[in-house]
Amino acid sequence: MEQKIMTPHRRYLLSVRRKKIFVKLWQFGILAAIIGLWELLTAVGAMDPFFMSSPSRIAVTFAELCAGGDFFYHIGVTLLECVIGFAISMGVGSVIAVLLWLSESARRVAEPYLVVLNALPKIALGPLIIIWVGSGTKAIVLMAVMICIIVTVISVLEGLCSAAPDKLLLLRSMGANRLQLLRYAVLPEALPTFLSVVKINVGLSWVGTIMGEYLVSGAGLGYLIVYGGQVFRTDLVMTATVTLCVLAGGMYGLMSLAEKLCARKKNRRAKEIK
């Protein structure tokens, strides 16, 4: 009986929950509507499935590809290239950012180069990349790195440079050298920026990998898309694209989850102390 009493707080909680359900319903509803409409329009002949494919054909193609076994190989190739490209960009990019932070002169010298490289459409480097490292996995990873690394350097450097001046002043008055400033204040303060760069790069490394596969590949989801396009198999193109969506979303979700777990651990620690 007690539960039926609507206290203002309970009403508030209920409204929050309702809103959440409302948003989720719409999110799934739109997806279902798109799939349903797509299927319906192709089924009645309003859209030509030869050009547009259709959800049922995608499902069939997906099942065939899975049964063939090759599909997982393609997924694996793309995933691996993407992860390697991502890891190299994050690692090397962050190290470069730290080195630039350590030397103001180097930072100023590098600035115009960073600006130009950032503005340059990296796909323009495609032919050069092939000439330099050949038309294999290396070229694809290099393309992904080219696309991610400049953004990483610029954003991480910005995070490093935004450390609170009074904290640096305090550390310097204690006799801290530049490396100690980095360790005790600059790096911890740049952590949120670093996490946001991680999220941006999850997306960008997919862009780079697929771009690289368009250029040179013999396997991978990008290859399937290009191949499917060339032989006019839109089912294959769509299936690979949808798979790509799921993978990219999954990787992003994984990163968000990792971030959330870190935050929760920190909160729990704070709470335990309380």
Partner 1 sequence: MDEILTLENVSLSYHTARGETEALAGVSFGVRKGEFLAIVGPSGCGKTTVLSVVAGLLRPTSGSVVLDGRPVTGPGGSVGYMLQKDTLFEWLTISRNVELGLKVQKKLTAENRAYARSLLQKYGLEEFADHLPGQLSGGMRQRAALIRTLAFRPKVLLLDEPFSALDYQTRLSVAENVSGIIRSEGVTALLVTHDIAEACSLGDRVVVLSPRPAVVRKIFDIPIAGGPEERRADKRFNDQTNAVWKELKATAEGV
From the CB of 229, what's the least distance to partner 1, in Å? 50
CB-nearer residue toward partner 1: 40 or 169 = 169
CB-nearer residue toward partner 1: 67 or 174 = 174
CB-nearer residue toward partner 1: 6 or 270 = 270
Region binding partner 1 by CB under 8 A among candidate stretches 87-95, 97-105, 147-155, 180-188: 180-188
From the CB of 260, what's the least distance to partner 1, in Å? 18
From the CB of 190, what's the least distance to partner 1, in Å? 12
Contact between 2 and partner 1 by CB under 8 A: the answer reads no
Contact between 185 and partner 1 by CB under 8 A: the answer reads yes
SS3 of the chain: the string is CHHHCCCHHHHHHHHHHHHHHHHHHHHHHHHHHHHHHHHHHHHCCCCCHHHHCCHHHHHHHHHHHHHHCHHHHHHHHHHHHHHHHHHHHHHHHHHHHHHHHHCHHHHHHHHHHHHHHHHCCHHHHHHHHHHHHCCCHHHHHHHHHHHHHHHHHHHHHHHHHCCCHHHHHHHHHCCCCHHHHHHHHHHHHHHHHHHHHHHHHHHHHHHHHHHHHHHHCCCCHHHHHHHHHHCCCHHHHHHHHHHHHHHHHHHHHHHHHHHHHHHHHHHHHHHHHC
Contact between 124 and partner 1 by CB under 8 A: the answer reads no
Which residues in the 160-179 window bind partner 1 by CB under 8 A? 164, 166-167, 169-176
